[in-house]
């Protein structure tokens, strides 16, 4: 797709219904992102998500997925351990979580981890730029790569990760010019989020995309739907209908034979 300059579509899914929705020929990759922590589980950061919680959701996504390629984020802490434990954790995501690839945040410093997993046959998607798992160390969720040093580091990290065997790389919250340059320098496809339109693909968080998430909206999010308004209006109508006893109506209720009723209540 990169060679043909056909944009790659990636979308997150966290459960069976969102996975079914991603199982369309319009979506190329389903990502079980660790954004799961915030949008589904109510945690304040992805660092709170455990590997077993991730696996539980991956299994649901796998049950709802037909053709797209499923990739899961390795949760914070699950790949900062020994090589052996990192491999075991990635294998659990593949065997128990039934995903086909894993995504890891980081640059040059995780090169050997990417190499080790790839070499054992687990496809690795890299992730550079804004790294939500390091939001504390990075002093918040901020655009990266705006100055010479940080832009150069993103380029060298991306090249190192490609060399280590990553099959693709997410570029998050970096200037569009830098993302275009990295995309042109790499042989592997780049998937952007807040990285402009010249990456090989785009990714968005499901709840941001369909507009069910009413919280903070990052600059790079476009709400393609407004399901929150629809949902809230449905809740309001449901509650009103219950209070007014207009729900359920006759067509939504079961009937009983009169003679039987008389016998029961006699
Ligand atoms: O966790 C996530 O959803 C992600 C994507 C937005 C890239 O990492
Ligand atoms: Na993530």
Residue 84 lies in a domain: yes
Q: Answer whether 90's CB lies under 8 Å from 122's CB.
A: yes
Residue nearest to atom 2 of ligand 1 (CA): 33
Domain identity same for 116 and 25: yes
Is 97 domain-assigned?
yes
Mean pLDDT of 154-163: 98
Same domain, 241 and 202: no
How high is the pLDDT of residue 213? 84
Distance between Cα 104 and ligand 1 center (Å): 10
Other C-beta atoms closer than 10 Å to the C-beta of 64 total 18
How far is it, in rounded angstroms, from Cα 40 to Cα 57? 10
Cis peptide before 149 (omega within 30 of 0): no
Residues 35 and 132 in one domain: yes
121-131 residue pLDDT tens:
999 999 999 99
Indicate whether 146 and 216 sit together in one domain.
Answer: yes
214 pLDDT more than 90: no
Tens-place pLDDT, residues 166-213: 999 999 999 999 999 999 999 999 999 999 999 999 999 999 999 998
Q: Report how far ligand 2's centroid is from the alpha carbon of 58 (Å).
A: 14
Kindly identify the ligand whose nearest atom is closest to the C-alpha of 33: 1
Q: Which ligand is nearest to the CA of 129?
A: 1
Which burial class, exposed, middle or buried, applies to 252 when counting CB atoms under 10 A from its CB (0-12, 13-18, 19+)?
exposed
Tell which one of 78, 193, 206 to mutate to probe ligand 1, the residue whose CB is within 8 A of the most ligand atoms: 193
- Residues 253, 146 within the same domain: no
pLDDT digits (tens, 9 = 90+) for 23-39: 999 999 999 999 999 99
Mutation test residue for ligand 1: of 172, 192, 207, 216, the one with most atoms within 8 Å of CB: 172
Residues 6 or more apart whose CB falls under 8 angstroms from that of 3 comprise none
- Tell me: the pLDDT tens digits for 80-135? 999 999 999 999 999 999 999 999 999 999 999 999 999 999 999 999 999 999 99
Look up the CATH number of the domain holding residue 116: 3.20.20.60
Ligand 1 centroid distance, CA of 244 (Å): 43
How many angstroms is it from 75 CA to the middle of ligand 2?
8
Q: Which domain holds residue 235?
A: 229-265
Clarify whether residues 242 and 181 are in a common domain: no
Note whether residue 183 is domain-resident.
Answer: yes
Query: Is 263 a residue whose pLDDT tops 90?
Result: yes
Residues 253 and 138 placed together within one structural domain of the fold: no
Residues 99, 58: Cα–Cα separation, whole Å: 7
Check if 12 has its Cβ closer than 6 Å to any atom of ligand 1: yes
Short-list 43, 95, 108, 47, CA closest to 73: 47
Report whether residue 90 contacts ligand 1, using a CB cutoff of 6 Å.
no
ipTM of the complex model: 0.99
Shared domain for 19 and 109, answered yes or no, is: yes
From the number of C-beta atoms within 10 Å of its C-beta (0-12, 13-18, 19+), residue 228 rates as: middle
Mean pLDDT score of the chain = 97
pLDDT attached to residue 57 = 98
Confidence label for 216 from pLDDT (cuts 50, 70 and 90): confident
Pick from 84, 83, 85, 121: which is nearest to 102 by CA? 121
104 in contact with ligand 1, CB cutoff 6 A: no
Ligand 2 centroid, distance to 152 Cα (angstroms)? 23
pLDDT for res 67: 85
Element (H, E) at 70: strand 69-73
Which of 171, 41, 55 is closest to 102 using CA atoms? 55
């Amino acid at each position: 797709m990169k060679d043909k300059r056909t944009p790659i579509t990636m979308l997150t899914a966290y459960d069976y219904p969102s996975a079914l929705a991603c199982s369309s020929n319009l979506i190329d990759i389903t990502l079980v992102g660790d954004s799961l922590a915030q949008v589904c589980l109510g945690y304040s950061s992805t660092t709170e998500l455990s590997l077993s919680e991730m696996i539980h959701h991956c299994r649901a996504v796998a049950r709802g997925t037909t053709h797209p390629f499923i990739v899961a984020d390795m949760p914070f802490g699950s790949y900062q351990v020994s090589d052996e434990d990192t491999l075991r954790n990635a294998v659990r995501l593949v065997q128990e979580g039934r995903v086909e690839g894993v995504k890891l945040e980081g640059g040059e410093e995780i090169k050997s981890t990417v190499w080790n997993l790839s070499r054992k046959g687990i496809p690795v998607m890299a992730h550079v730029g804004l790294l939500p798992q390091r939001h504390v160390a990075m002093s918040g969720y901020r655009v990266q790569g705006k100055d010479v040093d940080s832009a150069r580091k993103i380029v060298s990290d991306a090249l190192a990760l490609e060399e280590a065997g990553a099959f693709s790389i997410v570029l998050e919250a970096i200037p569009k010019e830098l993302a275009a340059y990295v995309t042109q320098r790499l042989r592997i496809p780049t998937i952007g989020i807040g990285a402009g339109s010249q990456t090989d693909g785009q990714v968005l968080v499901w709840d941001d995309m369909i507009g069910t998430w009413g919280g903070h909206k990052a600059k790079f999010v476009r709400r393609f739907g407004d399901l929150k308004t629809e949902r809230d209006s449905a809740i309001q109508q449901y509650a009103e209908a219950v209070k007014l006893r207009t729900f359920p109506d006759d067509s939504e209720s079961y009937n009983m034979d009169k003679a039987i009723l008389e016998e029961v209540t006699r």
